[in-house]
Amino acid sequence: MKLPHNAHVAIVDGENFTVMRNSGQAFEPKLTGAQKPDLDATNYSAGVKHQDDVGQTTGATDLEELAHGAAAAEWLNAKAIAGEIDDVLVIADPKTLGEMRRHYHSELEKRLVGEIAKTMTREPTERIEKAIANE
């Protein structure tokens, strides 16, 4: 995947949110400057109406995780609207990514350079860089 120099990379799952920058070249990403924004996960209605019958019956859909994904999207939206980010790559597990997409603002959508549906929050930086390069 071509990741522009200085692009933001948001790495998200149902509990973690890390934002890094690509200080490398477009086809040779080098992620630096990891920060963990403080999120206020208040959108507990996030996935309620989108649970399937099995998820509702077994409780397999964790509303805390979905609210965290919604909060991460809202944080990215605010940065995009304020003009603080230009290019963004979102890496998230499939369930979180699906919830985040529901909350993307049009300004964030304009700045998305890609999405990777993988759980990478606990991976070393080198593996994340390799996953980006191989997409």
**Which CATH number is associated with domain 8-134?**
3.30.420
Domain parsing of the chain, residue ranges: 8-134
pLDDT at 57 over 60: no
DSSP of the chain? ----TT-EEEEE-SS-EEEEEE-SBTTB--EEEEE-PPP----TTTTGGG--HHHHHHT-S-HHHHHHHHHHHHHHHHHHHTT--S-EEEEE-HHHHHHHHHH--HHHHHHEEEEEES--TTS-HHHHHHHHHH-
**Tens-place pLDDT, residues 90-118:** 999 999 999 999 999 999 999 999 999 99
With a pLDDT cut of 70, the percent of the chain lying above it is 84
When the pLDDT of each residue in the chain is averaged and rounded to a whole number, the result is 87
